[in-house]
Amino acid sequence: MSFLGPKSRKIIELDKELISSSLTRVSDLVFERLEGMNVWDADNKKYLDFTAGVAVANCGHSNPEIIQAIKKQLEKGIHLGFSDFYSELPLLVCRELKPLLPANLNNFFFSNSGTEAVEAMYKCARWHSNRTWFIAFEGAFHGRTLGSLSLTKSKPVQKERFEPFMPVKHVPYAYCYRCDKGSYPDCGIGCLNDFEKQLKELKGRVAGVIIEMIQGENGYIVPPKEFIKGIRKLCSEHQVLLCDDEVQAGCFRTGKFLASEHFKIETDLVALSKALGNGMPIGLTIANKKTMDWPPGSHANTMGGNLVACASALATLKYLKKEKLGDNALKIGKIILKELSELQEKSKFLGDIRGIGLMIGVELVKSKKTKEFGIAERDALITKALEKGLVLLPAGTSGFRICPPLIIKKEEALKGLEIIGDCLKEIEKKK
Ligand SMILES: Cc1ncc(COP(=O)(O)O)c(C=O)c1O
């Protein structure tokens, strides 16, 4: 806590008294003002942000064009109820989205968060198929409400004491850096066999398969293309709906609007949230009209289609397209990966580096040979980076993620990497 100013310290003390102990605070940053690529804390210390508020502020914090759209809508009205009445603004969001989506995705359900977007996807697949089972993946994070939590299998603490869960089977994800089936491609994508076996065991009873195209909370894990393509093929063969959780990877974070585009596949249902509102709470579940065939009353909510959230989403989508932020994500992502691989050669702790666009994961290990998780090293790095003015977030057991706003410039990326390099040197000196 040494670098913290007095106002920040006071706020943290009050927080400890008032706020639920279930939250996972990873560092002592007390944010007060946000702008573009930067965050200022309660004592006015400035930081460079490599988190975008957990992959949310893709257009940059407090983006003036989005703020203007929100202000305009605030003066017109905030909420009446899109589940009960009609309104044009949510439809404009759908219209703006449609050219960014495969043609089969043409029906929309609005909610307020990632977990709600996943819940709707899960319930819709169960309703449409009239089947009960789901298959999900080890390491997956799909949210924390009980339906989504049943699909999640990330950290044990997230599920402990919350049983019973929905009928879900988890099978291995293609986490090639830590796989006991041999190294890729010699492994023959053995994890696909586990998936197929599970599908066969539950023959005729599986409603859907839910997957993150790049696992987010588990460490920004990029699977081989054949893994995702194989899952698509098997889902089609077994007439099982493929549900794509793009809550973290969507909205151009990986350079493409949907991460599934990198794998050249189409999915049956998609969940979006986080960056869609650039900070305003919004969730969206998308499917084909024939799949979203549930009757009135089977699923609805109070706040979905909220006018201010929709005004923000509309302005966000326009900004992402106008500024070609997907292209910038790809360009800067390549620079970051190249710099990181140079750092990796010099560092004994950088075990694995992976990512697409600006969804980049760095996994720390105690030794590159044993691959023992470098949890203390990762935690020390995040704390040191914060002291030096860079905000980072963990991902996975001993990794951290680089997911800055997509407006990031090369100089800002290099500055952040310089801080990461300095922190690594300091940690290595101590060991
Ligand atoms: C892939 C994925 N799905 C679902 C969620 C849940 O979103 P929320 O925290 O908005 O409920 C998250 C959150 O990190 C996520 O990364």
- Whether this prediction's pTM lies above 0.95 is answered by yes
Residue 1: its pLDDT value, please?
54
Superfamily of domain covering 6-49+324-429: Aspartate Aminotransferase, domain 1 (3.90.1150.10)
pLDDT per residue over 289-343, tens digit each?
A: 999 999 999 999 999 999 999 999 999 999 999 999 999 999 999 999 999 999 9
Residue 33: its pLDDT value, please?
98
pLDDT per residue over 56-97, tens digit each?
A: 999 999 999 999 999 999 999 999 999 999 999 999 999 999
CA dihedral of residues 133, 137, 141, 147 (deg, nearest 10): 10
% of the chain at pLDDT higher than 90? 95
pLDDT per residue over 327-386, tens digit each?
A: 999 999 999 999 999 999 999 999 999 999 999 999 999 999 999 999 999 999 999 999
Alpha carbons 295 and 123: distance in angstroms, whole number: 12
pLDDT per residue over 388-412, tens digit each?
A: 999 999 999 999 999 999 999 999 9
The secondary structure element, H or E, covering residue 239 is: none
Closest CA to 198 of 238, 249, 154, 233: 238
Test site for ligand 1: of 274, 282, 284, most ligand atoms within 8 A of the Cβ: 274
Distance 219 CA to ligand 1 centre (A): 14
Alpha carbons 272 and 53: distance in angstroms, whole number: 16
Distance 248 CA to ligand 1 centre (A): 7
The number of the ligand 1 atom at minimal distance from the alpha carbon of 274 is 10
Distance 430 CA to ligand 1 centre (A): 36
Residue 285 Cβ inside 6 Å of ligand 1? The answer reads no
Residue 211 Cβ inside 6 Å of ligand 1? The answer reads no
If you write DSSP's letter for every residue of 100-162 in order, what string do you get? Answer: GS-TT--EEEEESSHHHHHHHHHHHHHHHHT--EEEEETT----SSHHHHHH--S-GGGTTT-
Structure tokens at 370: 């044993």
Residue 316 Cβ inside 6 Å of ligand 1? The answer reads no
Distance 401 CA to ligand 1 centre (A): 15
Of the options 3.40.718.10, 3.30.300.30, 3.40.640.10, 1.10.10.10, the CATH number for the domain spanning 64-322: 3.40.640.10
Test site for ligand 1: of 51, 247, 276, most ligand atoms within 8 A of the Cβ: 247
Residue 266 Cβ inside 6 Å of ligand 1? The answer reads no
Nearest CA to ligand 1 atom 4: 142
Q: Are 178 and 92 in contact (CB under 8 A)?
A: no
Supply the mean pLDDT for the chain: 97
First CA to last CA distance, the chain: 22
Distance 282 CA to ligand 1 centre (A): 12
Nearest CA to ligand 1 atom 3: 142
Test site for ligand 1: of 22, 56, 142, 276, most ligand atoms within 8 A of the Cβ: 142
Distance 182 CA to ligand 1 centre (A): 31
Sequence spans of domains, the chain: 6-49+324-429, 64-322
Asked if the model's pLDDT at residue 2 lies above 80, the reply is no
